[in-house]
Amino acid sequence: MCAGAYGAGDLPDNMTDAQRGALSKTVETCGTCHGVNGRSVSPTFPNLAAQQAPYIELQLKAFKDQSRADPDAQAYMWGMAAQLSDATISALAGYFAAQPAAPGRGGNSTLIAQGKSLFEEGVPTRGIPPCASCHGAHAEGMAAFPRLDGQHAPYLFKQLLVIQSVLRTAPVMHGVIKDLTKDQMQAVVAYLESI
């Protein structure tokens, strides 16, 4: 991975050269899966670009203390996060949050339309609130509420499954989606990948 793929200007100003060098190396490691610019090629690996910095920090700490414990978190991220200091976690979050977001990619238009209505309106008859009420009108997220737009649909689908089955502990989200059907999940993730 080429260190020149991102500019030193993306790293915090108040770092020493040694700190910048160490952070660049860490970013390269993360980049082998997530893309050095935070836009990953494989849908197994979530995009981190333009993700909310507070959310990234919370997740890295949850991998480090092993409270985010779904199988892929254990397999891929526990080891990665184990050695990160709080200062490095904060710098990594700032770096990835500052990268341009992944663009939306089209898909099945019927599914996308169903997903859009679910995202914006929820399912009032089943007590499911609009996803937009927490994740933002364009799924841009805010603070601890993650950005979802342009994210890989298979990754989002897998997260809905592991949150619903409580393999990933996320009490607020669990309450929201506990009655979401798999068809509804497929529709909403198709919409999110498309925007």
Q: Minimum distance between the CB of residue 155 and ligand HEC, rounded to whole angstroms? A: 7
- Note the Cα 74 to chain centre separation in Å: 16
Applying CB under 6 A, which residues contact ligand HEC?
A: 26, 29-30, 32-34, 44-46, 48, 56, 58-60, 70, 72-73, 76-77, 80, 92, 128-129, 131, 133-135, 144-146, 148, 156, 158-160, 170, 172-173, 176-177, 180, 188
Report the alpha-carbon distance of residue 3 to residue 177 in Å, rounded.
41
Closest CA to 99 of 37, 53, 45: 37
Please return the burial class of 137, using the count of CB atoms within 10 Å of its CB with bins 0-12, 13-18 and 19+. exposed
Contact 10/98 with Cβ under 8 angstroms? yes
Nearer to ligand HEC, 10 or 45 (CB): 45
Nearer to ligand HEC, 8 or 142 (CB): 142
Let me know if 102 is exposed, middle or buried by CB neighbors in 10 A (0-12, 13-18, 19+).
buried
- Least distance between ligand HEC and beta carbon 180 (Å): 6
- How would you class 67 by CB atoms within 10 Å of its CB: exposed for 0-12, middle for 13-18, buried for 19 or more? exposed
Residue 45 or 117 having the CB closest to ligand HEC: 45
Whose CA is closest to 170, among 85, 56, 68, 26?
A: 68
Residue closer to ligand HEC by CB (options 26, 90) is 26
Is residue 91 a contact partner of residue 15, using CB atoms and an 8 Å limit?
yes
Q: Identify which of residues 100 and 129 has a Cβ nearer to ligand HEC in the complex.
A: 129
What minimum distance in Å lies between the beta carbon of 118 and ligand HEC? 6
| Closer by beta carbon to ligand HEC, 42 or else 109 | 42
What the block records as the tokens of 174 is 């669990």
Q: Least distance in Å: CB of 144 to ligand HEC? A: 5
CB of 59 to ligand HEC, least distance (A): 4
What is the nearest approach in angstroms of ligand HEC to the Cβ of residue 194? 14
